[in-house]
Amino acid sequence: MSAQIDIELTRQALASSTLSHGLGILGDRWTVQVLMGTFMGLKRFEQWQQQLGLPRSTLAERLRSLSAIGLLRARPYQDRPLRHAYHATAKTLALYPQVLMIWNWEKRWGQSDVGLPEALNHRRCGHKSTPTLACQACGGDADIPRMGLRLKPVPALLKFKPRLGRAPRIPVGSTPHVSLGLRVDRWNLLIVTAVVLGCHHFDQLSQVLGIGPSVLARRLEGMVESGLLRCDADRRDGRRRLYRLTPASRDLLGYIVCLSHWAGVHQFQQPSSIVPTHECGHEFKPLVVCSHCRQPLLAHEVAPQYAPTDTRSVAPKGHTARSDMAAA
């Protein structure tokens, strides 16, 4: 990465990125967990509350806001018409590649006690599958060394301020079941993206993200502690620190590009200001394929497999993501 970066261009590109705006909608941990619950077969208020252990008012607020943007559809129970079950919509299903990328990341880098499926079976080829990020144009693998990035701020998105408030503080261990993504929130993802774009120094990160020094210092310290960044002394200037990606944060690429793509296509109908290109020469659009047969992984063709001893398994037996998809 070049030390010469255009701070103002990078600032505008980050501020108008579909990533930043998408994270304004889906970047907080509870929202992500409620959505993951949908893909794991949860439909009723009590199921989410029991599995996620979040306060009733918080859950009610998340279900309301996800319904308002068309990510859940409330339908009355047949037996109790005054109560509602929450179903996935077509817009939710379009988030499936991102859900697979979360699963992948959690499997490699998250806590072991997360209540996620132990394995994913691809019905189409009959094999265990590791979701793999690929390029829609050529089908080839995609990771940071195979990608380039062009910056092109999007005026329509620059006008809106993304809703990037402070994420609620959730003590580790407070979510007994689907406790995923505890180390990853929207600011961390934006900081990782800024580092990918070549901002390695404290002052560069502060300027392009508009984060004040004390808050940024705490953030960076936390990310170094949790293995999302490496902090080295700058060889050219010993007083300065260089922040670099780690294998764990490099692995967030799939999550970042899938969320950016979804937000651009399904939420904002705008191109992203951070345009990834693939080594094949085409603009990169993500596809999540099966590691075994290289076919795209579709929700109704993937059967999650839970550990037999895991009595806290989120999806009851015979109730997989497939039955959820049929209802959507």
Nearer to Zn ion, 248 or 274 (CB): 274
Nearer to Zn ion, 290 or 314 (CB): 290
Kindly state the number of chain residues that form the binding site for Zn ion, as judged by CB under 5 A.
11
Nearer to Zn ion, 147 or 265 (CB): 147
Cβ 283 to Zn ion shortest distance, Å: 9
- Find the binding residues for Zn ion in span 139-168 (CB under 5 A): 140
Residue 289 is a binding residue for Zn ion (CB under 5 A): no
The answer to whether 185 and 27 are in contact (CB under 8 A) is yes
How many of the other CB atoms lie within 10 Å of CB of 123?
13
C-alpha 190/C-alpha 164 separation (Å) is 11
Q: From the list 292, 300, 319, 322, which residue makes contact with Zn ion (rule: CB under 5 A)?
A: 292
Residue whose entry in the numeric block shows the structure tokens 């508009």: 210
Cβ 153 to Zn ion shortest distance, Å: 25
| 56-68 and 45-52 helices, crossing angle to 10° | 120
Nearer to Zn ion, 71 or 290 (CB): 290
Cα–Cα distances in angstroms (integers) from residue 201 to residues 7, 42, 209, 253, in the given order? 12, 43, 12, 21
Beta-sheet strand order (sheet of 127-129): 127-129, 119-122, 302-305
Give all strands (DSSP E) within 61-146, no chain letters. 73-76, 84-87, 119-122, 127-129, 131-135
Cβ 302 to Zn ion shortest distance, Å: 9
C-alpha 143/C-alpha 214 separation (Å) is 32
Binding letters toward Zn ion, positions 113-142, x by CB under 5 A: ---------x--x---------x-xx-x--
Residue 293 is a binding residue for Zn ion (CB under 5 A): yes
Stretch that binds Zn ion, among 1-9, 71-79, 162-170, 271-279 (CB under 5 A): 271-279
The answer to whether 88 and 245 are in contact (CB under 8 A) is no
Cβ 206 to Zn ion shortest distance, Å: 34
State the residues that interact with Zn ion by CB under 5 A: 122, 125, 135, 137-138, 140, 278, 280, 290, 292-293
